[in-house]
Chain A
Amino acid sequence: MTVKELAEKLGLKALSMPDGDREVLTGYAGDLLSWVMGKAPSDAAWFTIMSNINIIAVAMLRDVSAIVVCEGAEISNDVIARAEEQDINLLVSEKGIYDLCVELAKMI
């Protein structure tokens, strides 16, 4: 499944999607960035409520397919600009992390 398909199927809004054809192989949920930095698998859709600018570097260095900021957490324009600059797919949803992960699990 691609990031674009993920967005369509889970009803996610794309704030930055420079690489919609990127494959999503798995999912990961976590908010502690230093934990995520040590553990997130590459090619995962990363579900989080953390929305500060440091999520972009974590996603880039960890090679996740997309960041999905959940539960309607607010994202500033700086974060969106940094995502575009670093070619990071950044998606948002009003839904909870658990619900999104359950839906993803049914699809992969």
Chain B
Amino acid sequence: MSVPLKFHYDVHGEDFTSAGNASVQAKKALRQLGYDPNIIRRVSIAMYEGEINMVIHADGGSADIIVYPDYIEIVLADKGPGIPDVSKAMQEGFSTAPDNIRSLGFGAGMGLPNMKKHTDDMKIDTVIGEGTTITMRVNT
């Protein structure tokens, strides 16, 4: 069996103006692989929301896209504060983003719900004070 194709991106926490760059690069890479635009949109939107979350809450992290024969996996990992109440965080409209982030148009409490909506499977591993890893899958 062939080794799956991997793309790795670092997400920088200090710079909000570059937030989204990793997702944009991933979108371009998947386009080059010839995926259906709808699949690409779902992967890149889910990744973008995660990327924004890592910038807002965790001072950055890493994003990996792993391309398997019949699905694409997105793994977002950070060493942030962790999510105290995952079920609350999954509710549309719930947000703990600070005001300066809201003034940029984020913090609507749509990030995690959007990630779930655009993927076929989503798993959240979070430990308070240690970090969060979100693994998502989009079937191709």
Contacts and interface: CB of A to CB of B under 8 A. Distances in A.
Contact of A35 (B17, B27, B108): B108
Interface stretch (A8-16, A20-28, A57-65, A92-100): A57-65
B19 A34 contact: no
Nearest to A85: B24
Contacts of A54: 16-17, 19-20, 104-106
Contacts of B106: 32-34, 54
Contacts of B110: 32, 34-35, 37-38
A63 B104 contact: no
A34 to B, nearest CB: 4
A50 B108 CA distance: 14
Contacts of A63: 37, 41
Interface in A40-73: 42, 50, 52-58, 60-63
A51 to B, nearest CB: 10
Contact of B44 (A32, A61, A78): A61
A62 B41 contact: yes
Contacts of A50: 105
A61 B48 contact: yes
Interface residues of B, number: 26
B27 A34 contact: no
Contact of A61 (B27, B104, B105): B27
A37 B48 contact: yes
Contacts of B48: 37, 57-58, 61
A44 to B, nearest CB: 13
B108 A34 contact: yes
10 contacts: A31-B105, A33-B108, A38-B114, A38-B117, A52-B104, A52-B105, A54-B16, A54-B19, A54-B20, A61-B44
Given A34-B114, A38-B110, A58-B48, 18 more contacts: A31-B105, A34-B109, A34-B110, A35-B108, A37-B45, A37-B48, A38-B45, A38-B114, A42-B37, A42-B41, A52-B104, A54-B19, A54-B106, A57-B20, A57-B21, A61-B27, A61-B44, A61-B45
